[in-house]
Amino acid sequence: MRQIKGPGLFLAQFISDEAPFNSLEGLLSWAASLGYKGVQVPTEKPEIFDLERAAESQSYCDEITALCTEKELEITELSTHLQGQLVACHDTYDALFAGFGPDAMRDDPAARAAWATDQLKLAARASARLGLRAHATFSGALLWHTVYPWPQRPKGLVEAGFAELARRWKPILDVFDAQGVDLCFELHPGEDLHDGVTFDRFLAAVDHHPRAHILYDPSHLLIQHVDYLQFIDIYHDRIRMFHVKDAEFLANGRAGVYGGYQDWIDRPGRFRSLGDGQVDFKGIFSKLTQYGFDGWAVVEWECCIKHPEDGAREGAAFVADQIIRPTEVAFDDFSGAPEDPERNRKLLGYPDGQVKS
């Protein structure tokens, strides 16, 4: 069995205009001081990480790697969550997501989609230059506004939606394949890929592409009431990334999974800092280790109660305590015996080599 790496930290939620959170070097120093061994790097802010430059310049990537090494850190993966959202963005959400792309394209959805597609292709090349094996993104959404429809969905709508989603993502997946990098979709409400069934639909639509994989985040499955442990049993061959994020669902008589348009702190389903929610991380780390997952366990802090810096500090120790060193022996090896074919025949009742009738 192989061992999970970690702890890692997703930097996206911590970037700000204040030091040390306003530069990659500052963020790295801060993360290292908390005990992290790796960082997952968002790519939408060139002042933190210049994606275009990384895709074109090996020397820039070498400088970034050297900076990480100096801080005793590794880059776990790059992330294009915001850009991925724009690869497939329904007009219903155009105004909400306009800020995810360049200001010059704010009123041009087609240009934003083309830009986002190019960003993903740059990310494939940048990941390869950095020696990374996997990349994190969102699928975007063409069908989400029909997730719980009234009136019912017209026949063929879902099939057409996934065919279009596949048409947009297949060329991107091909670029990732050429670069030897897995493209991992975070299954997330609001995305067309938000659970196992939707991932299966997409996988079929892209002909089971060898680079189409999953960023496993149990918090999003818990809030949807998906069995997140059985999910690992089913999809372990496609899980290439892992966000360690906690959540809880506190059922009540006034609101449910949809939350009633309430703020996060009032919703029945809400994200929590590690150890403060309901996710069974011992079960998750055991299953992932059982199936040989050797990627990074990356803390993604999202909590409606606890301060982010406290969540990050506690998260490093929490993940370090969860990582299992796989055994190299069987617990009952002490009572075993060397292989002996003749003895085995006797134990089976045919010492002369023939099965007795």
pLDDT over 70 (residue 353): no
**pLDDT (tens digit, 9 = 90+) per residue, 82-96?**
999 999 999 999 899
The whole-number pLDDT of residue 332 equals 75
> Could you tell me if 132 and 77 are in contact, meaning their C-beta atoms sit under 8 angstroms apart?
yes
CA separation for the pair 287, 228 (Å, rounded): 11
- Please report, as a single letter, which amino acid is at residue 134: A
Q: Given pLDDT bands bounded at 50, 70 and 90, which one contains residue 224?
A: very high
In this predicted structure, which of 13-22, 120-129, 144-153, 342-351 has the lowest mean pLDDT? 342-351
The half-sphere exposure of 205 on its side-chain side, counting CA atoms within 13 A, is 22
The Cα 146–Cα 153 span in angstroms is 7
What's the pLDDT score for residue 334? 77
- Alpha-carbon span 184 to 336, nearest angstrom: 43
pLDDT at 180: 98
Strand pairing category for 212-216 and 269-272: unpaired
**Chain centroid, CA 201 distance in Å:** 18
Structural tokens at position 161: 């939606």
Q: How far is CA 186 from the centre of its chain?
A: 5
pTM of this prediction?
A: 0.95
Bridge partners of residue 11, in order along the sequence: none
User: Quick one: pLDDT at residue 290?
Assistant: 97
Nearest to 245 by CA among 204, 226, 273: 273
The tokens 């010059």 sit on which residue? Answer: 104
What are the pLDDT digits (tens) for 268-325? 999 999 999 999 999 999 999 999 999 999 999 999 999 999 999 999 999 999 999 9
How confident is the model at residue 354, as a pLDDT? 62
The residues, any chain, with a CB within 8 Å of residue 31's CB and separated by 6 or more, are 9, 11, 39, 71, 73, 312
Residue 149 pLDDT > 60, yes or no?
yes
Compute the CA torsion angle 25, 31, 37, 38 (nearest 10 deg): -60
Distances (CA, A) of 192 to 56, 80, 202, 252: 31, 16, 9, 28
No. of helices (H) and no. of strands (E), the chain? 13, 10
In the chain, the domains with their CATH numbers are: 5-330 (3.20.20.150)
What are the helix (H) ranges across 180-252?
A: 196-205, 218-223, 228-235
Handedness of CA 122, 125, 129, 130 (dihedral sign): positive
pLDDT at 1: 81
Q: Per-residue pLDDT for 336 more than 90?
A: no
Task: Identify the pLDDT of residue 356.
Answer: 55
What distances in angstroms separate CA 86 from CA 105, 168, 253, 285, one per listed residue?
A: 12, 11, 36, 32
Report the C-alpha gap between 74 and 8 in whole angstroms: 9
Q: Are 43 and 51 in contact (CB under 8 A)?
A: yes
